[in-house]
Chains A and B, each alone.
Chain A
Amino acid sequence: MSYNCIVIVREVWDTRDLTGSVLADNGSIKDSMLTRFEPEDMNALEMALRIKDEHGGKVTAFSVGTPKQVDVLRECLYRGVDEVVRVDAGASSLGTQAAAQLLADAIGKAGQYDLICVGVTVADGESSMLGTHVAGKLGIEQVSYVDAIEEIGEGRVVGKRGIEMGYEYIEAPLPALLSVGVALVEDDPRTPRSAKAMLKLKAKKAEIPSADVDASAVTSPVSIAGREAVPERAVESKDVAAEDETALKSMLDDVLKGE
């Protein structure tokens, strides 16, 4: 029995090791800010690819909007998905609800599927609930924090979730949407499964089809109404020698007093 899996992938700001101000004078995000393939979505992609490896079938990746720096769909092709679909977001940036609606429309038109995988916590805070909303709009079951697939078959999927002192297993009927957690990730998914230049070349040259959905039909009443910078708090750094117990104590006191 083979399975058709869908993965939803996102390009997000790379918020690691930030230095200096993120915003330019005009309030937009600076050119020096990099983006990356949302690593949690990459875990979801890895989950789908493993199902394909084990049971056969195909993996299709969906992404909303035009790429800024990293074309996550081409990256998906490079990492081994069979098909990709770009969902046009129109001119403005979308709220979570609107993006979910467009994705649900596009997925609904893409034919039969068994499983949708998506990363659970996303650096772009506002879109962390994207998977949940897509499931809601498609009318399918959704399970959060699925860290691994334990079993799939006979119209059901059993997910494994790491919990305090052990695991729990969650069963859901297919088709289902799984928000993929990170508790059981063994390998760093950043390392491509097949680091092949050939695949990269093919991915570079591939035509990326657009979903047949109407972005203008989806209104997004949520938008960023403005930005305000919080003045930076001046922090006086102090050097305390590790051997100097009195100084260490007074530093601790200061910390406890909240100074």
Chain B
Amino acid sequence: MGKILELTVEDKLYTTKYETDSRSHIKVNGDLCRTCSSKPCLRFCSGDVYKINPSEPDQVTVNYENCLECGTCRHGCPFNAIDWQYPDGAMGVKYRYG
């Protein structure tokens, strides 16, 4: 891992502990994403969950395993295209310090 000032968000997320579920607790409505040119989800997410789908640049991929469960996407998506539910019990992020 790099020096403390040079960590990427991936490096940071590597320190966060998760109990990863086999299915996603986040669904995005791809039809709405297609109409969205600004894609704020690429920026507002604290856990870097949303990324451009390399094979379909007007769509986003959902790396739900990274989700810190902050809920920003539920308020930040201008089209309400993100359906975010609580992960199943005891699944998802598990802070040791918090």
Binding site for B on A (CB under 8 A): 16-17, 19, 32-34, 188, 195, 237
Contact = CB atoms under 8 A, between A and B. Distances in A.
B97 A32 contact: yes
Contacts of B14: 17
Interface in B76-98: 89, 94, 96-97
Contact of B15 (A19, A188, A237): A19
Contact of B96 (A32, A188, A195): A32
15 contacts: A16-B17, A17-B14, A17-B15, A17-B17, A19-B15, A32-B96, A32-B97, A33-B96, A34-B17, A34-B94, A34-B96, A188-B22, A195-B89, A237-B1, A237-B2
The dominant DSSP class at the A interface is: loop
* Central interface residue in B1, B2, B22, B96, by most chain A CB within 10 Å: B96
Which 4 pairs between the two chains have the least Cβ-Cβ distance? A32-B96, A19-B15, A17-B17, A32-B97
A16 B97 CA distance: 15
A236 to B, nearest CB: 11
A188 B97 CA distance: 27
Contacts of A32: 96-97
A32 B96 CA distance: 6
A188 B22 CA distance: 10
Interface string B43-78: 000000000000000000000000000000000000
A34 B2 CA distance: 26
Contacts of A17: 14-15, 17
Contacts of B2: 237
Contacts of A195: 89
Contacts of B15: 17, 19
Contacts of B94: 34
Contacts of B1: 237
A81 B2 CA distance: 47
Contacts of B17: 16-17, 34
A187 to B, nearest CB: 11
A165 B96 CA distance: 42
Interface string B1-15: 110000000000011
